[in-house]
Amino acid sequence: MIAIGVDIGGTSIKGASINDKGEILDRFSLKMDKEIEPEISIGKMCDEINKFIKNKKYKSKIIGVGLGVPGILDKEAGIVKSSPNLPKWINFKIADFVQKRVNLRVKIVNDASSAVLGEARFGSGKNYQNIIMITLGTGVGGGIIINGKLYDGLGGTGAQLGHEVIRYNGRQCSCGRKGCLEAYASATAIIKEAKNNLKKYPDSKLNKEDVIDAKVIFELERQGDKLAKKLVKEYVIYLSEGLLDFCNIFRPEIFLLSGGVANEGDYLIKKIVKYMKKKHYGYINAPEIPIKLASLGYDSGKIGAASLLFEQYE
Amino acid sequence: MIAIGVDIGGTSIKGASINDKGEILDRFSLKMDKEIEPEISIGKMCDEINKFIKNKKYKSKIIGVGLGVPGILDKEAGIVKSSPNLPKWINFKIADFVQKRVNLRVKIVNDASSAVLGEARFGSGKNYQNIIMITLGTGVGGGIIINGKLYDGLGGTGAQLGHEVIRYNGRQCSCGRKGCLEAYASATAIIKEAKNNLKKYPDSKLNKEDVIDAKVIFELERQGDKLAKKLVKEYVIYLSEGLLDFCNIFRPEIFLLSGGVANEGDYLIKKIVKYMKKKHYGYINAPEIPIKLASLGYDSGKIGAASLLFEQYE
């Protein structure tokens, strides 16, 4: 059993053929123009998929296409209602559109949810029934697995774990509210804080960097750079406060971290665990929740989207 | 099919015989001493239950006892690991203890979860599969129903929805952290704020009240009292911010409100809805989530606890 899993992003569309062990067989990708009509960009994607599967030996084993899509969806109806990063995508019936052009069953899911599905089925979350995944990238994404199943709320619009306010009236968030976790724990947030503080810390080596990203900030923090230390310290506090909230709200079996900042790996996790222990994982006597890195990297979304097709046969 | 549902609180234990339509047949209650050994207080409860069922005509139809217990539980093992309000309850094997004395099957659940179970099975949540319930009382309790089932996290220690931080480093919370929703949206919180502001508002009629509670504050707010208006305005903002967080995290089909402050009913709900609409229910184009009052009142916990016994026959 094989499915096509596709990750639709603002700058590229990446897909792969994936078997029901979660293994990637072959890949394809194309550029995405987020400003054009979805019929054009997704039309091109369909052409690419048709070309991709045309001469594959396993063509007859392909049971469908799973799409991970950013935005607010009506999953059952296969519609993208709107998408902050894809302004022309309004009530786009993507599942029908793709089904007609590639003649395969199509399922859709929010892109953050497809990532947690991938990790839950075939990655770091494989042996757990209740998982909270946090993606620390441009934004802060979330994924929820409860009793072994994806939970993403009405029409796939829940699990927006980056959009819980941890500081009322705090930093402006991209969602319109102020003080969301995303405004403190995304890669974008730590970079912005770095830039805002450069003048206050003229001795910081960050002033000499052409490009400031989370990796550079963590590197300089290890070297003792004062600004970098302040940034990482605050970052860890806010991220940990968010995780403590999710301890109290979900008390899952495990947290998974993914995304750019999570590449700091155990170094970051140790700092978070230290902070969370100090706060008794939410309250005294509460069970400790282990934190692990997601293991599928950028493939988690494709694999999770493909897994939507396998689920009906389980 | 009939079960005994019991709500164990810090000052009283209230129970009832309940049929599988969620109807209360008969009631009993006894005082609770929270400072004594659980073997003594729960021993008395068992005597009371035995007395209660002794001469009931439907005695043979009673299939078990469901207990709603405050604290951190190991539900499967039937153990109360600890309970902030019951200091001597440490690793108390309550299910075994009660089972031996009343000779009926015993199930336990966190008290906040028993309330949402009751509402979900037989109250305002009856026709919904995904429900978030918030109890606005001494503290702020939470209950989560996902895909029709109770979700309460590892050992029943999740769904602590009052313990998400909405204001980092804000008001001291009973749980040890600072800035939790509970410290802003509980009845205790609005009363404390009232008392802290009495001197600043010498003209406020609250200065003349013997007992300040949420009801009095809302009454005076309707009369235009400046301090009461300020208190209610802030209360609505913080509670709404919490609900917006739960919109983004869960995007449930419905919110249910219960507890003392929820007695303000539609008057309170209208204010919350107005605020949440202004914030687009979390973000633009997100589905609106209706807010309803819980309908079973103080019986929800007993009914939910009893329903634990019916579930195995569903």
- Look up the CATH number of the domain holding residue B87: 3.30.420.40
Domain boundary among A83, A118, A153: A118
- pLDDT tens digit sequence for A22-45: 999 999 999 999 899 999 999 999
Domain boundary among A72, A98, A118: A118
Query: Domain check: are B271 and B161 in the same one?
Result: yes
pLDDT band for position B314 (cuts 50, 70, 90): low
Q: Are residues B105 and B134 in the same domain?
A: no
Q: Cα separation of B295 and B116, whole Å?
A: 11
pTM: 0.92
Residues B157 and B261 in one domain: yes
Residues A100 and A190 in one domain: no
ipTM of the complex: 0.92
Determine, yes or no, domain membership for A28: yes
Same domain, residue pair A62 and A192: no
State mean pLDDT over A135-163: 92
- pLDDT, one tens digit per residue, over B173-189 is 988 999 999 999 999 99
Same domain, B112 and B133: no
pLDDT above 70 coverage of chain B, percent: 99
Q: Decide: B132 and B152 in contact? Cβ < 8 Å.
A: no
Q: Inform me whether the C-beta atom of residue B253 falls under 8 Å from chain A C-beta atoms.
A: yes
C-alpha span between B201 and B182 (Å, rounded): 25
Is residue A312 assigned to a domain?
A: no
Q: What is the mean pLDDT of chain B?
A: 95
Per residue in A220-265, pLDDT (tens digit) is 999 999 999 999 999 999 999 999 999 999 999 999 999 999 999 9
Section B288-300 average pLDDT? 95
Whether A89 is covered by a domain: the verdict is yes
pLDDT tens string A255-300: 999 999 999 999 999 999 999 999 999 987 788 999 999 999 999 9
pLDDT at residue A84 above 80?
no
Residue A314 has pLDDT above 60, yes or no: no
Please say which residue of A61, A83, A118 terminates a domain: A118
Answer yes or no: are the C-beta atoms of B116 and B304 closer than 8 Å.
yes
- Are A90 and A137 contained in the same domain? no
Rounded distance, CA A157 to CA A140, Å?
Answer: 15
pLDDT in tens, B34-87: 899 999 999 999 999 999 999 999 999 999 999 999 888 888 899 999 887 788
- A3 forms bridges with which residues in the sheet? A18
Q: Are residues B114 and B98 in the same domain?
A: yes
pLDDT of res. B236: 98
Q: Which amino acid is at A312?
A: Q
Across the interface, which of A165, A167, A284 has its CB nearest the CB of B245? A165
Residues A216, A219, A225, A226, CA torsion sign:
positive
In a domain, A267, yes or no: yes
Q: Are residues B55 and B138 in the same domain?
A: no
Domain that holds residue A94: 2-118
pLDDT at B313 over 80: no
Q: Stretch B215-228: mean pLDDT, rounded?
A: 98
Burial pattern B232-256, b for ≥16 Cβ within 10 A else e, equals beebbbbbbbbbbbbbbbbbbbbbb
CA dihedral sign, ordered B14, B239, A252, A288: negative
State whether B151 and A155 contact (CB < 8 Å).
Answer: no
Binary contact (B279, A177; C-beta < 8 A): yes
Q: Which two tokens stand for residue A148?
A: 């072994």
Evaluate the CA torsion angle B252, B258, B263, B264 in order and state its sign.
Answer: negative
pLDDT, one tens digit per residue, over B272-289 is 999 999 999 998 778 899
In this structure, the answer to whether residues B157 and B208 fall within a common structural domain is: yes
Largest CA distance in chain A: 63
Residue A266 lies in a domain: yes
Same domain? For B100 and B242 the reply is: no
Average pLDDT over residues B255-277: 97
Please give the tally of structural domains in chain B. Answer: 2
Res. B312: pLDDT tops 70: no
Is the same domain home to B114 and B140?
Answer: no
For B235, half-sphere exposure in the C-beta direction (CA atoms, 13 angstrom radius) is 28
* Residue of A157, A243, A246 to mutate, testing the B interface (most B Cβ within 10 Å of its Cβ): A157
Nearest CB to B249 within list A158, A170, A175: A158
Per-residue confidence band for A82, with pLDDT thresholds at 50, 70 and 90: confident
Handedness of CA A172, A174, A180, A186 (dihedral sign): negative
Phi-psi region of B196 (alpha: psi -120 to 50; beta: other; left: phi over 0): alpha
Across the interface, of B152, B155, B164, the residue whose CB is closest to A287 is B155
Is residue A76 a part of any domain in this protein? yes
For residue B52, the distance in angstroms to the closest alpha carbon of chain A comes to 35
Average pLDDT, chain A: 95
The shortest CB-CB distance from B158 to any of A166, A251, A285 is to A251
CB contact under 8 A, A245 and B130: no
Please report, for residues A63, A236, B85, B175, B193, the alpha-carbon distance to residue B171 in angstroms, rounded to integers and kept in the order given. Answer: 54, 21, 21, 11, 10
Q: Is A304 inside a domain boundary?
A: no
The reply to whether residue A155 touches residue B289, judged by beta carbons under 8 angstroms, is no
- What is the chain B residue with the closest CA to A90? B285
Question: Is A205 inside a domain boundary?
Answer: yes
User: Can you tell me the mean pLDDT for A160-168?
Assistant: 96
